[in-house]
């Protein structure tokens, strides 16, 4: 019983060595892409200048969602 526990506690490198398998190849570290904030701001501004109604639609949708949420809360609590 105690003889098999050493096999279970063995690390991967030691296990590969005992099995005669070559060491695992190291993978390169993945680097996160760098964000160009100036370019993103320029794209957003150009889109907003091209379609000036977008902020009104966004705020209108947010207000409708808030009103709908309040209506749902009042209806579920039977306040109204």
Per-residue pLDDT reduced to its tens digit, 53-77: 999 999 999 999 999 999 999 888 8
45 assigned to some structural domain: yes
18 assigned to some structural domain: no
Domain containing 78 equals 33-80
4 assigned to some structural domain: no
Kindly state the tokens that stand for 6: 């050493």
Left (φ > 0), alpha (ψ -120 to 50) or beta: where does 69 sit?
alpha
pTM for the predicted model, two decimal places:
0.46
78 assigned to some structural domain: yes
Q: What is the torsion angle, in degrees rounded to the nearest 10, for the CA atoms of residue 45, residue 47, residue 49 and residue 51?
A: -150
- Banded model confidence at residue 34, pLDDT cuts 50, 70, 90: confident
15 assigned to some structural domain: no
**Into how many domains does the chain fold?**
1
79 assigned to some structural domain: yes
């Amino acid at each position: 019983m105690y003889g098999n526990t050493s096999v279970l506690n063995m690390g991967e490198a030691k296990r590969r060595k005992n099995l005669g398998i070559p060491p695992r190849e190291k993978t390169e570290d993945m680097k996160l892409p760098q964000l160009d904030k100036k370019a993103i701001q320029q794209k957003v501004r150009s889109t907003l200048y091209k379609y000036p109604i977008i902020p009104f639609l966004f705020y209108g949708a947010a207000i409708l969602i808030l009103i709908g949420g309040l209506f749902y809360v009042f209806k579920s609590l039977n306040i109204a």
